[in-house]
Homo-oligomer: A and B are copies of this chain.
Amino acid sequence: MEGASRPLDALNATRGKNVIVDLKNGTRYTGKLKAFDIHINVVLDEAVESKNSEVTRSLGTVFIRGDTITIISPA
């Protein structure tokens, strides 16, 4: 996310890297950022779900609907 002046450029810089995705309902997904679009729909590979800091599921690949997301950050 270095040197980018638009949010989606910054997001693009993390493609292929591990990220944290937090949802509005408090669920967290960590995994490798494979894809995203302008709605901030996101696909993670090697994804792990956690709630209250406890791992709840290993999901492999996961599609996350953009409107449920609060933040995305490098892991």
Contacts and interface: CB of A to CB of B under 8 A. Distances in A.
Give the oligomeric copy count: 7
A62 B20 CA distance: 9
Contacts of A59: 71, 73
A34 B7 CA distance: 8
| Interface of A: prevailing SS | strand
Interface residues of A, number: 40
Interface of A: 1, 4-11, 23-25, 27, 29, 34-37, 40-43, 45, 47, 59-74
12 contacts: A1-B34, A4-B43, A5-B34, A7-B35, A7-B37, A10-B34, A25-B70, A40-B65, A62-B71, A65-B66, A65-B67, A65-B70
